[in-house]
Each structure stands twice: as C-alpha cells, then as structure tokens.
C-alpha cells in the first residue's frame, strides 16, 4: 500500500448529504477540533459518558494514580445488560426489532429467519440470568465460558452474564478443543455454554464433541449447558451436562433478575487474543469506559439512528462482534442483522441478498470479505438492489485501494462514506476512522483516517520519538482512553511488559503506520510475530506449537506471506524428526493436523521441509530472516546467525516449491 499514490478524487462532492448527519470538514479543520478535544483532558469524555444511564454517577473521571492500570469513571455504578436491554424494553423501543437473525440456509433444510424485539430480548436475557443465578449459583466475581455458533443464544448469554456481573469469555466457534481448554483454565470458568453443533457451509461443526474433548483437561468447569441447534446425538454426562431448553422450561416466562450494580471499572469480559510469544492473552475489558467508547463510536463512526438496519458481518467470537454486534448497537437501541454460516454460502451473493431483503443501511465488513466478493465478480452484486446502504466501513486488516474502489463503486455507488476503521481487541472500540466525531473528513482509498475525538495517536521511531510525516514507524496511543484494557487476566506484569514498556507511558500497539500531511493514519500491518489471516489474529508461535505436537515434526518456523484474498497466510518451514520419511501426503497431513488442533482459520500457503532453520547462537529462531527470504525482501544483517547456510536452505526450499 502506498500513501504516495496520487489521490485527488473529489469524494467530498460525491457524498450525498441527506444520507448523513456528519458535517463534512477539511482535514485541517478536523485537526483543530481534535486538538480542542485533547485540550480538555480526560474531562472531554464526561459529556459522552453522561448520556449513558448510570445507577450512580462517577466521582473521578480518570484515576491515573497507578499507571498503566488506569480506571475510568471511578465510583460510578452501571450495568451493561441494563444499558442494552432494560432501557429499551422499558421504553418506547419495546416493540422495536432488536435482532433479525438468519440461520444458515443449508440446502435441504428450512430457511430460518427470527426477529427478536427489545421486549423479547429482555425476557430471554432475564430468564437465562435467572437460570445462571438460581440454578447454577453464579454471581459477581465468577467467570463463565461461551462456545456457541452465531445463534441468538450467543448474545443472550453474554447479556445475561453481564446482568449478574459474571465475567464471560467467548471462544470463537471455529477454535478447537485445545483453545477451549486453555481459555477455560486461564479464565477459571465454572460453567460452559455450548451447542450440540453449529452450521457452517452445509456441514455441522460438532461443538459438543469438541467440548467433551476440551473438558478432559479443564480444571474448573463444573457444568455444561447445551443449546439444541443441529439436533444430532451428543453425549451428555450425567450431573454435568444439561440441555438448555430442558432447564429453561422450568423458568417462568416473566422471570426478572435485578441487574447487578457493577462498578465502572469491574470486568465485563475476558477475550483472548494472540501476541508475539506464549499463549493468547486474556484481555480484560471493564464496563463504564468500554460502554462509553462504544456509545461514542456508534454515533461517530456509524452515525447510528433509529431508522437504521445495522449489519456487522464479523463473528461475535472476535472483539468486533462483542463491540459492534452485541454491546454497541443494542445500547443504541438499533435494529441489526445477525447471521449464521458464511457470507458466500450457499451462493456467492448470500450477503447481498441479506442486505437487500433486510434493507441494511449501515454495513460493517472486512477487506477479506470484499476481496472474496471481487473474486466472484460484480454480477453477484449488480443483480441485487443495495440502495438501502448509506454508510460503510471495513475493519480487521489494511484495505488495498483496489478493493476499496471496487466496493465503493459497486455497493457505495460512489456516493456514500466508506472507511477503514482501525482498532484492535485491546482498544475495545474504534480509535481511528474517517468519521471520527460528528464530522467526516474526505475519503482516500486505503487510509484509516485521523484519530477520533479525545484520542491521541502518533507514530514513533525506535527511540520513542514522533517521526516526520510520511515516515514509517510504530503506531502508539499517547494517552489513556475509555475502553482501554483493565489488564491481562491473571498476568498484570505481562500487560505492562507488552504494551507499556517499549515506550514507557505510551500504549504500544504493535502495528506499523504512516501519518500523512493531512493527519491521516495509514496502518501498514503488524510489526511483530502476529499474523492476520483473513483478518483473524493468529500468533506464529501458536501455529508452531501446533505443528510440533505432530509426531513427525522436530522444529518449525512459521511466518506470514502476502495473499491476494486473505491479506496474509502462513508459510511453515519444518525440520522433521530423525527417521521420518518424507511421504508425499505428509504436508497435507500436517495442514489437517494443525486445522484440527488449532482451528480451520489456520491457512497455509505451503509447508516446506528443511534441514536447518536460521537461528541465533543462543538457539532462537530468527523469523525475521525467514520472513525476508519467504517474501523476497532484504535479509539485512545476519551476522548473529549461528549458521549462515540455513538461509540458503530456506531459499532452496522456496525454489523447489515454485
């Protein structure tokens, strides 16, 4: 991606003002408005937070007495389930549709569409909360796990847990047993909610079987609740496992559970995400600051209104879904789409048909999805009416200008805002976007735009000094913001080390970025050993550990290489155990092994067998060198290598592959 690219398109004039509440301003004017927001300090956020319904107002906006463990809106009491459900169910939005849910339209089954109003949602959340509290004794301070497909029970359980002040951890239903077990153990979850199975591309993902396997190595799970979704036979362990519909049938329809008055800085959820080394980190998000950021960005980035149909195409298992399917849109009382399955199954235009049938007006999707649609061709879009859409954003990875232009033309009809919002699991919500307040700045294909009001982003060099415009460096956030993590669950030292130590006092993001002369940020990709395969964040370390669990593998190095559709895919270099013969089917077997043991989101371009890997004298694999060779870039200084011939070894393996 290039920022030097000449971008002189009059996108400003193309925007249809009647579709938008934002004021379109020049980058210079926005930067002044932004500066004024920063001048107010943390107090800037008070007027946003005041729009939430607090049980008890906060006493201190920002407690910065113990950095980097910042606390927002201290003294305030609030409940995320109350904000998303009660407020609307007890008000004029009671009969408004909250969720339009579509099941996967598998070929020989019914096409299911369910609509839940805010009152329906309120009833279900209360009944589930009642069950969790009365039947399972869960309450404040407890943790529970959720491993569900994209069915209404998923948000319902999250909201029910939030109601009780029970911290939950959602495991993406594409992850395998090991990931479930690791997360349940780290979170010390007592209860796990799952389904018999989930639908994905016409096939059943056997979630309960995976849970059974995971529970062989968990220590704290006492009970499992099983949602009946696919209906296949599953093993139910007596005394531990129960079907949800059976236990729920005993809960009265009008069950009511008082929402717990939780402290603003109490944990709402733990979400595991990959880092450079070690197992995934449990990012802990609190309630008050997090909900404040979501409220701000639902208004700013998405301009959300009551007449909108909002659709975020992510899976709730990732932070995008937590923030912009569950907590953000529901807090705003929006109507939104929830879908099970895949965007392009059974036909490449399933997603366009959802937009058309439900009149989606605000669309939030990903570059990988867009590039997949490009591959299928524009005829799948042009045969549908997408004129309901009035605003779009993408998220998850950098968007290449070609994909941006294609989507802007075909779906945006070159008249509506289309941005690439930057944020990450740790930030809780959107921090960089072309709609960074009640303002919009002119679009540029591929940019992320300026930081939102109240957020100080910058680009630093290795010495921790801001770099000049148009210079590549590290993206940082220079001040605390509402929605920032509380900590890493059970590992506060790691929280300090990973995010706050590279540049003391400043939040280190782990992305490369460039800031242009208009103050727009262009996020270039990860600066560490983290992959973004189809927007999914995967640690190279995790794929390497998955590989070396195979009996044929002695050592493995995994790096990311560019992919035209997925943005990036993995490439592995493997040293086999002595005596292993290189069978022709071994590569395939290893790929299958990793996908089974880690999850199908692991996509490899190729697995190469080598005799040596580039290592330092202390035996650390130099992935930087492996990646440089694999991507054909400058290898740089290799004097610290133990054996320079190892570089040749990688080169040879790649040539054989070509």
d(CA 370, CA 393): 11
* Sole binder of ligand WT7 in the list 177, 293, 319, 476 (CB under 6 A): 319
* Sole binder of ligand WT7 in the list 242, 537, 550, 627 (CB under 6 A): 537
Regarding 568 and contact with ligand WT7 (CB under 6 A), the answer is: no
Regarding 546 and contact with ligand WT7 (CB under 6 A), the answer is: no
Of 276 and 597, which has the nearer Cβ to ligand WT7? Answer: 276
Using a 10 angstrom Cβ sphere, with 0-12 exposed, 13-18 middle and 19 or more buried, the burial of residue 496 is middle
Q: Which residues contact 436 (CB under 8 A, 6 or more apart)?
A: 30, 34, 300, 301, 449, 450, 451, 452, 453
Q: Taking the complex as a whole, how short is the minimal distance between the CB of residue 4 and ligand WT7, in angstroms?
A: 18
Q: Which residues contact 155 (CB under 8 A, 6 or more apart)?
A: 99, 316, 325, 326, 330, 338
Which residue in 333, 306, 322 sits closest to 429, CA to CA?
A: 322
Q: Taking the complex as a whole, how short is the minimal distance between the CB of residue 492 and ligand WT7, in angstroms?
A: 20
Of 312 and 556, which has the nearer Cβ to ligand WT7? Answer: 312
Of 117 and 448, which has the nearer Cβ to ligand WT7? Answer: 448
Q: Taking the complex as a whole, how short is the minimal distance between the CB of residue 518 and ligand WT7, in angstroms?
A: 17
Geometric angle at alpha carbon 623, from 509 and 565, rounded to 5°: 70
Tokens of 599: 């999850």
Q: Taking the complex as a whole, how short is the minimal distance between the CB of residue 526 and ligand WT7, in angstroms?
A: 5
Of 93 and 532, which has the nearer Cβ to ligand WT7? Answer: 532
Which residue in 400, 328, 319, 398 sits closest to 362, CA to CA?
A: 328
Tokens of 72: 């927002």
Question: How many of the chain's residues bind ligand WT7 (CB under 6 A)?
Answer: 22
**Contact pattern from residue 372 through residue 411 relative to ligand WT7, giving x for each residue in contact according to CB under 6 A and a dash for the rest:** -----------------------xxxx-------------
Contact yes or no for 159/326 (Cβ under 8 A):
yes
Contact yes or no for 507/519 (Cβ under 8 A):
no
Contact yes or no for 606/586 (Cβ under 8 A):
no
Q: Taking the complex as a whole, how short is the minimal distance between the CB of residue 563 and ligand WT7, in angstroms?
A: 15
Three-class DSSP category at 324: helix
Among positions 433-462, residues that touch ligand WT7 (CB under 6 A) are 448
Of 79 and 425, which has the nearer Cβ to ligand WT7? Answer: 425
Regarding 297 and contact with ligand WT7 (CB under 6 A), the answer is: no
d(CA 526, CA 180): 26
d(CA 515, CA 175): 36
* Sole binder of ligand WT7 in the list 143, 421, 435, 545 (CB under 6 A): 421
Could you tell me how many helices (H) and strands (E) the chain has, helices first?
A: 22, 32
Q: Taking the complex as a whole, how short is the minimal distance between the CB of residue 531 and ligand WT7, in angstroms?
A: 10
Residue 557: beta bridge partners?
573
Contact yes or no for 449/7 (Cβ under 8 A):
no
Regarding 143 and contact with ligand WT7 (CB under 6 A), the answer is: no
* Sole binder of ligand WT7 in the list 22, 183, 299, 526 (CB under 6 A): 526
Regarding 273 and contact with ligand WT7 (CB under 6 A), the answer is: yes
Of 360 and 395, which has the nearer Cβ to ligand WT7? Answer: 395
Contact yes or no for 297/328 (Cβ under 8 A):
yes
Of 163 and 532, which has the nearer Cβ to ligand WT7? Answer: 532
Q: Taking the complex as a whole, how short is the minimal distance between the CB of residue 223 and ligand WT7, in angstroms?
A: 30
Q: Taking the complex as a whole, how short is the minimal distance between the CB of residue 323 and ligand WT7, in angstroms?
A: 8
Which residue in 318, 276, 311, 282 sits closest to 174, CA to CA?
A: 318
Of 171 and 523, which has the nearer Cβ to ligand WT7? Answer: 523
Q: Taking the complex as a whole, how short is the minimal distance between the CB of residue 136 and ligand WT7, in angstroms?
A: 31
Q: Taking the complex as a whole, how short is the minimal distance between the CB of residue 532 and ligand WT7, in angstroms?
A: 6
Three-class DSSP category at 565: coil
DSSP structural state of residue 400: P
* Sole binder of ligand WT7 in the list 84, 126, 320, 368 (CB under 6 A): 320
Of 52 and 509, which has the nearer Cβ to ligand WT7? Answer: 509
* Sole binder of ligand WT7 in the list 523, 546, 569, 572 (CB under 6 A): 523
Q: Which contiguous run of DSSP H or E holds residue 53? A: none
Which of the stretches 185-193, 423-431, 452-460, 552-560 binds ligand WT7 when contact is defined by CB under 6 A? Answer: 423-431
Q: Which residues contact 323 (CB under 8 A, 6 or more apart)?
A: 294, 428, 429
Among positions 459-518, residues that touch ligand WT7 (CB under 6 A) are 509-511
Binding site for ligand WT7 (CB under 6 A): 273, 319-320, 395-398, 420-425, 448, 509-511, 523, 525-526, 532, 537
């Amino acid at each position: 991606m290039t920022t030097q690219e000449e971008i002189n398109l009059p996108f400003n004039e193309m925007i249809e003002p009647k579709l938008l509440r934002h004021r379109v301003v020049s980058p210079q004017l926005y930067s002044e408005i932004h500066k004024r927001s920063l001048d107010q300090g943390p107090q800037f956020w008070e007027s946003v937070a005041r729009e939430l319904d607090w049980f008890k107002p906060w006493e201190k906006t920002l407690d910065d007495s113990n950095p980097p463990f910042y606390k927002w809106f201290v003294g305030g009491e609030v409940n995320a389930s109350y904000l998303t459900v009660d407020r609307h169910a007890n008000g004029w939005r009671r009969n408004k549709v909250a969720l339009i849910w579509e099941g996967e339209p598998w070929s020989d089954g019914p096409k299911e569409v369910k609509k839940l109003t805010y009152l329906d949602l309120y009833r279900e959340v209360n009944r589930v909360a009642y069950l969790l509290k009365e039947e399972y004794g869960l309450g404040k301070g407890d943790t529970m796990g959720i491993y569900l497909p994209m069915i209404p029970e998923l948000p319902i359980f999250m909201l029910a847990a939030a109601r009780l002040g029970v911290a939950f951890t959602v495991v993406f239903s594409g992850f395998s047993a090991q990931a479930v077990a690791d997360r349940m153990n780290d979170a010390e979850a007592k209860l796990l909610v799952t389904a018999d199975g989930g639908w994905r591309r016409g096939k059943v993902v056997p979630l309960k079987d995976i849970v059974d396997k995971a529970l062989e190595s968990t220590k704290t799970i006492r009970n499992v609740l099983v949602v009946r979704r696919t209906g296949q036979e599953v093993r139910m362990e007596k005394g531990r496992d129960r079907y949800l519909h059976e236990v729920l049938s005993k809960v009265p329809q009008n069950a009511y559970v008082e929402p717990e008055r939780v402290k603003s800085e109490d944990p709402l959820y733990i979400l595991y995400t990959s880092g450079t080394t070690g197992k995934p980190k449990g990012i802990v998000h609190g309630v008050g600051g997090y909900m404040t950021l979501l409220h701000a960005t639902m208004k700013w980035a998405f301009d959300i209104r009551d007449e909108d149909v909002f659709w975020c195409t992510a899976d709730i298992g990732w932070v995008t879904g937590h923030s912009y399917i569950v907590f953000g849109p529901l807090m705003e009382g929006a109507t939104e789409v929830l879908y099970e399955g895949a965007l392009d199954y059974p036909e490449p235009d399933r997603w366009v048909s959802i937009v058309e049938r439900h009149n989606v007006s605000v669309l939030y999707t990903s570059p990988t999805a867009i590039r997949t649609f490009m591959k299928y061709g524009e005829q799948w879009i042009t045969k549908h009416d997408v004129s309901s859409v009035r605003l779009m954003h993408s998220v998850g990875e950098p968007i290449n200008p070609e994909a941006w232009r294609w989507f802007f033309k075909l779906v945006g009809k070159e008249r509506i805002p289309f941005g690439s919002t930057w944020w990450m699991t740790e930030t809780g919500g959107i921090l960089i976007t072309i709609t960074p307040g009640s303002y919009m700045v002119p679009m540029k294909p591929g940019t992320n735009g300026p930081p939102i009001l109240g957020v100080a982003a910058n680009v630093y060099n290795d010495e921790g000094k801001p770099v000049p415009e148009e210079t590549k460096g590290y993206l940082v956030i220079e001040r605390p913001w509402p929605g920032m993590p509380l900590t890493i669950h059970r590992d506060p030292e790691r929280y300090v080390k990973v995010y706050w130590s590279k540049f003391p006092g400043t939040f280190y993001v782990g992305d490369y970025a460039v800031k242009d002369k208009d103050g727009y940020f262009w996020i270039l990709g990860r600066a560490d050993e983290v992959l973004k395969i189809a927007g999914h964040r995967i640690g190279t370390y995790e794929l390497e550990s998955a590989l070396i669990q195979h009996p044929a593998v002695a050592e493995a190095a995994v790096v990311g290489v560019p992919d035209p559709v997925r943005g990036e895919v993995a490439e592995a270099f493997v040293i086999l155990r002595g005596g292993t013969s290189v069978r022709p089917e071994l590569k395939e077997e290893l790929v299958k092994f990793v996908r089974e043991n880690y999850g199908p989101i692991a996509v490899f371009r190729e697995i190469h067998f080598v005799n040596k890997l580039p290592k330092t004298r202390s035996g650390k694999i130099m992935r930087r060198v492996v990646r440089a060779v694999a991507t054909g870039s400058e290898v740089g200084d290799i004097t610290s290598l133990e054996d320079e011939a190892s570089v040749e070894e990688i080169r040879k393996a790649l040539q054989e592959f070509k």
